Amino acid sequence: MWWLFSPPCITKLEVMDIYPHHTAATRRIFLTGVGGLICSFGVAPTFVVRPAEATPASIAAAIREAVGEAPVRQGRVKLDIPPLVENGNTVSLTVSVDSPMTEQDHVKSIHIFNEKNPQPNVAIFHLGPRVGRARVSMRIRLADSQKVVVIARLSDDSFWYDSVVVMVTLAACLEDLR
Amino acid sequence: MARALINVPRKAQRGDVIEIKTLLSHPMETGYRRDNVGNPIPRDIISRFVCVYNGTEVFQADLFPAVAANPFLSFFTVATESGTLEFRWTDDHGNTQTASASIEVE
């Protein structure tokens, strides 16, 4: 008697098993294709050949390279950057460090890192007592919504950091070509 | 020669902390983009910026492709003596562009 019921069961299982997988696969391929077309502006390849993104592993490596094995503490540094950005091509940011900037106690350098651009480094500033006030402003690119990290090295070789998560509506990748 | 915009106060009291704003017109091409026919656009990045106050380097910056086009930098320095502030931008190929401003310190 069991074989009377089994065929529909098997067919149903097969459909259930294959169909969602099938749609998911096509949707993924379609989306990748659209992304590829947008990124490469209608050029033939359907798959995006993106440069290696700065994964959290590479940002960690970049920070290690700048800091070494020294501990990095939170505080003294303030990163001012809008939390919601419309255009990732120009994001203005200001870094300020709480420091008297004297010969004995000053900021040696400020390092800015990002998580998801193709490269983890953004900029390194070398300061000294002649700078007078440890505050730097600039404009950066952000390829995606991500965390921006700032690390300051003080004259006593202590490291301090601040980080902000930035949401980007239009990524720097989609910039129009002139 | 790209255009540079410099904003330095013309006069300052001795010991004042003055703000300096610089902007260089430069594409800061990342090298990751492609043009309309799919050819990669070669990298063209200002990788170093230096501010020299009467022969002393007071501020340096290493810049990476994540810096937006037309690199803008704003920083401070102590007005120690009358003289000139010289700004140098160096790109990947070693080409340097300079600009300068004079300041009178009382």
- Chain A hits for B65, Cβ within 8 Å: 117-119, 141
What is the pLDDT averaged over residues A40-49? 42
Q: Are the beta carbons of B80 and A177 separated by less than 8 Å?
A: no
- Chain A hits for B36, Cβ within 8 Å: 41, 177
pTM of the predicted protein model: 0.77
Using CA atoms of B67, B43, A35, A85 in order, give the dihedral in degrees to the nearest 10.
Answer: 10
| Global ipTM | 0.93
Q: d(Cα A53, Cα A22) in Å, to the nearest integer? A: 29
pLDDT, greater one: B87 or A176: B87
- Residue B30, chain A, CB below 8 Å: the answer is yes
Encode pLDDT of A122-149 as tens digits.
999 999 999 999 999 999 999 989 999 9
The full set of domains in chain A, from first to last, is: 1-49 (no CATH), 56-174 (2.60.40.2470)
Task: List the single best residue of B30, B36, B88 to mutate versus A (max A Cβ within 10 A).
Answer: B30
How many secondary structure helices (H) and strands (E) does chain B include?
Answer: 0, 8
Q: A91-125 as b/e, with b when 16 or more CB fall inside 10 Å? A: bebebbbebebeeeebbebbbbbbbbbbbbbbbbb
The single-letter DSSP state of residue A131 is G
Q: Which of A44, A133, A141 sits opposite B76 (nearest CB)?
A: A133
What is the pLDDT averaged over residues A100-126? 94
Q: Would you place residue A52 in the very low, low, confident or very high pLDDT band (cuts 50, 70, 90)? A: low
Q: Would you place residue B38 in the very low, low, confident or very high pLDDT band (cuts 50, 70, 90)? A: confident
Looking at residue A175, its pLDDT comes to 52
DSSP B18-47: EEEEEEE----B-S--B-TTSPBPPPB-EE
Which residue type does A88 have? G
Nearest of A74, A58, A94 to residue A159 by alpha carbon = A74
pLDDT, greater one: A10 or B29: B29
Q: Would you place residue B35 in the very low, low, confident or very high pLDDT band (cuts 50, 70, 90)? A: confident
Q: What residues of chain A have any CB closer than 8 angstroms to a CB in chain B? A: 40-41, 43-44, 51, 89-92, 114, 117-119, 121-128, 130-133, 135-142, 175, 177
Fold of the B4-30+44-105 domain: Immunoglobulin-like (2.60.40)
* A53 CB burial (10 A radius; 0-12, 13-18, 19+): middle
